[in-house]
Each structure stands twice: as structure tokens, then as C-alpha cells.
Amino acid sequence: MDLAGRMAAVRELIDAAAARAGRRGSDVTLVAITKSAPPTIFSEARAAGLEDVGESRVQAVRERMQGHADAFRWHLVGHLQRNKVRTAVKHFDVIHSVDSPGLIDRIDRIAGEEGRRPAVLLQVNVSGEASKSGLTPTTALDAAERAAGRQHLRLVGLMTMAPQVDEVQATRPVFARLAALRERIAAEVGIALPELSMGMSNDFAIAVEEGATLVRVGRRLVDPDFAVH
């Protein structure tokens, strides 16, 4: 199956999951995570009508986006180091992995210098795993207050990564907690947080059922050998 066929299959699953939750599938953005694919993936993606692509390595983005910079909305989904903020601000439209107050300050300052205004999401370690980056639910509230009034970035939502588990349904409480946290922060800070970035190749349907608006799907789209369960 080619990329267009795999995209269509994923969109069908998104639409079905959204319907089960009383939502519209069109309210969920499919972000194709292209980091493991050869550069030819971008031409295929354009032909297939894909609009959003995600990369995890800041240092590789300039080379990978050559010839395609204006073809997609570019999402940074990997960890962002402070010394790579300028490159990230220059090239990415959406930054999913803002995980500290200091990073908020640096993105805002550099975005002002570069004449950019990226959309950002706060990465929250909802599961509490020591191996994962992210704010705690408590510090996420403080970070949202810090980001809300900034001129050179737009705080649009929250992001999380669910633990890798044998039973995919075990991810559901993680997604539900992020959705609840989004509602709490929006109410307490008094801002709209329209985006929830959660769900990957194995668990995106559950994430959609729990309110995801951005799903980050990589292997299921770009790896023809991915085993669909």
C-alpha cells in the first residue's frame, strides 16, 4: 500500500474514533511523523494531499525541508534544547515539546528577534514516567500562566506521550487526564486551549476518543512493514 492508501486508512480510523466520541473527524489533524522516512516522503506526501508533517530533530530540518518548506505546516515533536531554539523558531510552525518556563522565555525572545510567532504546546508528563520529559500537571498550570501573555508565541494547547504498554487500552487514562488538565488550565488561566496533541501509531484512535485534536502518526504511515493490529 502506498502512502496515499495508508493515509486513507488512518483517516478512516480517526473518523470512526471521532464518531464514537460524538465528534467530527475533520476536527482532528493528522500529523505525519516523517523522521524515519527518506526525503522522498515529502514529494509523496504532497501528492497525497498531506498538510502537516512532524520532525523530531531540529538540526536536520533545514536539509529535510529543502524544496518543501512552504508545502506543509511543520511540527517539532521532539525534545527542544535551549541552544537549538533559534533554528526551531525559524523553521517550525508548531512546537509541541515546550517543557520548562525557561524555554517559554527563550522562544518568546528569539521569536521576537526573528519576526516569528510559533504556536506552542506545553509537554506534560501525565504518566509520571521518569524516562519522559515534560512538566508535571502542577507546573503546567504555572507554565501556562507564564506563556499566556507572551507577544511572540501562541500557547494553543497541551501535549503528552503515553507509556508503551502491551494492552493499548491502558493508555486511555493518560489521555483522559491530559484532556481534563486542559479544561482546568483553560478555566483557571482564562485562555482558550484548542489543541490536544496525543496519540501515536498504536494508540491514536483511543486518543481521539479522549479528545485529541492532533495525532502524531509515524510508522503506520511511512513504514510499509508496520504491523496493523
- Angle (CA) 215-216-221 rounded to 5° is 110
> Is 161 a member of any domain?
yes
> Which CATH number characterizes residue 130's domain?
3.20.20.10
> Is 114 a member of any domain?
yes
> Is 229 a member of any domain?
no
Site of grid cell 489533524: 29
Residue 46's nearest CA partner among 12, 77, 70, 15 is: 70
DSSP β-ladder status, 52-55 and 29-33: parallel
**pLDDT tens digits along 91-146:** 999 999 999 999 999 999 999 999 999 999 999 999 888 778 899 999 999 999 99
Site of grid cell 501535549: 159
Q: Quick check: 83 and 119 in contact, CB under 8 A?
A: no
> Is 150 a member of any domain?
yes
> Is 228 a member of any domain?
no
At 158, which helix (H) or strand (E)? strand 154-159
Domain with 181 in it = 3-222
> Is 50 a member of any domain?
yes
Could you tell me the pTM of the whole model? 0.95
Residue 206's pLDDT is: 97
Site of grid cell 513504514: 223
> Is 89 a member of any domain?
yes
Specify the number of domains making up the chain. 1
